[in-house]
Structure 1
């Protein structure tokens, strides 16, 4: 069966259908059943006498059964207030189920406030589920289905600087998304945060610790499924596919821009997103070894700048190493379903946030990269110099006033390119807009912008695909015209850096 040869935890896979979110309400079907049962349980006491017993009995059965199912498939923190309401109400409802219709009940002046408190608890759970849903990844719009695979390799000529073992060399990991043959609907899709439940939990704990956010907030991401099928057959044909390398932001990992990567893959690109051990919050290798973020301290802005440049240099070397490894996959030196299909001569490097520094340094030091995309980050480079690749730099709008030096510094980096580059500020965006964060964070404009959960990703992918088509596929593309279609250029958010002028 296509896509059935997967390296995921078998015990993790059957839970997928139970954890699929109902679009628009932020809950899974089982969670929705629990909420309905809990409300019916609370309100049964206030129904006409002839309905009370039947409604109470049915609501008790439904809420209890759904609670048991959630305990098996995974209970999210948002449902805890709902379960508390069920536990509080059940003993009182038991009287109604045992007694005769119209029998003695708790006095209304006691039951009223209690029922109101339980309803508020249920509403709070529903509100939390809407604010922090299981990510519902937008369906890719390209002609191809999407497959995914995780690859690991070592860089034998690079001693690992974060360990004291002299024999330890740099070990790396990347997740690849690629155009694939369509798989049957029943084939399991890839988990979001890892190949197994253990990996997803390790990553969630690491990211939570890095961001200072309680681990339970990431319950939805641990349960989430993407659109990709692990190890699906590559799309038929002999056409070689251009490559896009991605470096995530500080502390983040290969999963950060999954929706964007899937959309690119559906349009015929191969996207390889890196984990950076000791720089990403948590990286779990196939053998179970987990490498956590190595905290770095600094006492001044100058030290912080120097550290950022050093970490960018590490990411740049990781990106070059990844491109070399993809060449081995293509040549067959390393066994891969992508052998013979990767066009590493047409490769772009992309960075998000702190990954932008790695992308710029990779372009300057590795001429194999043909184009650069910078997603809302600074071009940290301790030895800035000219480079030959064109750049598309996308920035947010709402955070610019707090970073007065950001755009001038980014502009100077674009001026060092020997060809035409673009700086585009997208209205209604914040820093998290350029990641998957709007899919799971509260839809508050000051947090994730005003473009909703998916519109920001749609705009970002459309303009990046247009840029990549022009630079990697030599397709005639009027890039300023493409940006103008979204109303960017007419508002002055687009700056073109033309080396000929």
Structure 2
């Protein structure tokens, strides 16, 4: 697997944040914030959004990356609709996480806590709203080395449309994961040789993380904030990069996941010969994932496409880069930082959110979505591919 784009995305994020110190104020930032404060766009749905963090411990298995750790600890962010929008907006990440992310990108001479100042839209620990067992659940998994915070825009937007969203920090696979007692886990997995066995180990471990989180949120004794809202019959998963690749592995391992999305992620473990009949969406860069174009990345999608035996779509986005689908690209776009994409990242982010939601509306709420069946004049950058014919229109 080509790992270069992971590091490139991080460097782009650090570069854009370095420039926030000297660039004029962002239009959506609050009036009382310093000029140049990074911010996330407002969600598009009708609901206000609340969020909370969960600290979960799986005592049934050892940590795959920390020798001697007999349990697996995870941090999870929940986003959900709220009818009580009051109090402070949630922090984007901690100052320590911001510092380690910037240092990992080799950036110096800027305030290392700048990422922690990013303005979000969700209200911290607001009371969840909705009927018991009434909301679909969407699990989000970030790219390798990336904190769960980089999927905040997508999480907030889905919650504003009535979804409960759980983004997982896969411990020791991110540059920094902070626990409630102040401990910070860094990227132990980064020190492991990244051969084929490593990537298989990574996505298999992520599938176990996802299943454990589902147990915690849907089990008979779930008491966590928002867990009572989860409809266990309507669960989907989406991820970016290796998080998207993990969606395939997680669905194979856990039948509770009814639908999945791989956003710009080269898949690792092939779908079994028996196939995967649940709905699946591939969404990625045209430059990397056009059918028939050759290369290892697109070859994995072509392989898995044949194993998907149910509803499926393959969409590519013209002009997007790997970081375009996450908050990394969004923050770059608002400050005019070049991440190598021809498509403005704000547009790519809107496309990611809109097509993700269309997929979820169709398969978790059974609402027809013509957007997924033909090219859209509103989003001409999105091409609908027919891999068997090697064409995208």
Alignment correspondent of 1:202: 96
Q: Say if 1:180 and 1:235, in contact at 8 Å, map to a contact too.
A: yes
Give the 3 Å change call, closer, same or farther, for CA 23–408 of structure 1 in structure 2: same
Q: Say if 2:52 and 2:225, in contact at 8 Å, map to a contact too.
A: no
Residue by residue, what CA displacement relative to the aligned partner does 1:424-443 show, whole Å, maximum 9, x if unpaired?
Answer: 11122111011001232366
User: Which of the residues 133, 147, 153 maps onto 2:50?
Assistant: 147
User: Which of the residues 217, 224, 236 maps onto 1:326?
Assistant: 217
More displaced 10-residue stretch of structure 1: 319-328 or 362-371: 319-328
Q: Deviation at 1:182?
A: 4.5
Q: Deviation at 1:453?
A: 4.6
**Alpha-carbon distance between aligned partners in 2 of 1:327 and 1:391, rounded to the nearest angstrom:** 22
More displaced 10-residue stretch of structure 1: 316-325 or 452-461: 452-461
Give the 3 Å change call, closer, same or farther, for CA 169–236 of structure 1 in structure 2: closer
Alignment correspondent of 1:394: 283
Q: Deviation at 1:30?
A: 7.0
**Alpha-carbon distance between aligned partners in 1 of 2:129 and 2:289, rounded to the nearest angstrom:** 42
Residue by residue, what CA displacement relative to the aligned partner does 1:290-310 show, whole Å, maximum 9, x if unpaired?
Answer: 111113343xxxx62221121
Alignment correspondent of 1:92: none
Q: Deviation at 1:364?
A: 0.9
Give the 3 Å change call, closer, same or farther, for CA 267–26 of structure 1 in structure 2: closer
- Asked if 1:23 corresponds to 2:26, the answer is yes
User: Which of the residues 183, 195, 208 maps onto 2:85?
Assistant: 183
How is 1:14-53 mapped onto 2 (pairs within 5 angstroms)?
A: 22-24=25-27
Q: Deviation at 1:179?
A: 0.9
- Asked if 1:253 corresponds to 2:147, the answer is yes
User: Which of the residues 184, 190, 195 maps onto 1:304?
Assistant: 195
Q: Secondary structure at the match of 2:261?
A: strand
Q: Deviation at 1:163?
A: 2.9
Residue by residue, what CA displacement relative to the aligned partner does 1:52-106 show, whole Å, maximum 9, x if unpaired?
Answer: xxxxxxxxxxxxxxxxxxxxxxxxxxxxxxxxxxxxxxxxxxxxxxxxxxxxxxx
Q: CA RMSD in A?
A: 2.9
Alignment correspondent of 1:122: none
- Asked if 1:420 corresponds to 2:311, the answer is yes
Based on CA coordinates, which of the two structures has the bigger radius of gyration?
A: 1
Name the structure where helix makes up a greater proportion of residues.
1
**Alpha-carbon distance between aligned partners in 2 of 1:415 and 1:213, rounded to the nearest angstrom:** 43
**Alpha-carbon distance between aligned partners in 2 of 1:376 and 1:22, rounded to the nearest angstrom:** 31
How is 1:323-472 mapped onto 2 (pairs within 5 angstroms)?
A: 323-328=214-219, 331=220, 333-381=221-269, 384-385=272-273, 386-399=275-288, 404-441=295-332, 447=339, 449-472=341-364
Q: Say if 1:428 and 1:450, in contact at 8 Å, map to a contact too.
A: yes
**Structure 2 portions without partners, runs of 5+:** 1-23
**Alpha-carbon distance between aligned partners in 1 of 2:109 and 2:174, rounded to the nearest angstrom:** 16
Number of aligned positions between the proteins: 361
Give the 3 Å change call, closer, same or farther, for CA 289–469 of structure 1 in structure 2: same
Q: Say if 2:285 and 2:320, in contact at 8 Å, map to a contact too.
A: yes
**Alpha-carbon distance between aligned partners in 2 of 1:341 and 1:25, rounded to the nearest angstrom:** 31
**Alpha-carbon distance between aligned partners in 2 of 1:238 and 1:168, rounded to the nearest angstrom:** 34
**Alpha-carbon distance between aligned partners in 1 of 2:164 and 2:217, rounded to the nearest angstrom:** 10
**Structure 1 portions without partners, runs of 5+:** 1-20, 33-132, 194-199
Give the 3 Å change call, closer, same or farther, for CA 482–214 of structure 1 in structure 2: farther
Q: Say if 1:135 and 1:439, in contact at 8 Å, map to a contact too.
A: no
Residue by residue, what CA displacement relative to the aligned partner does 1:175-219 show, whole Å, maximum 9, x if unpaired?
Answer: 0101111424xx3111111xxxxxx12212332344444483754
**Alpha-carbon distance between aligned partners in 1 of 2:251 and 2:346, rounded to the nearest angstrom:** 30
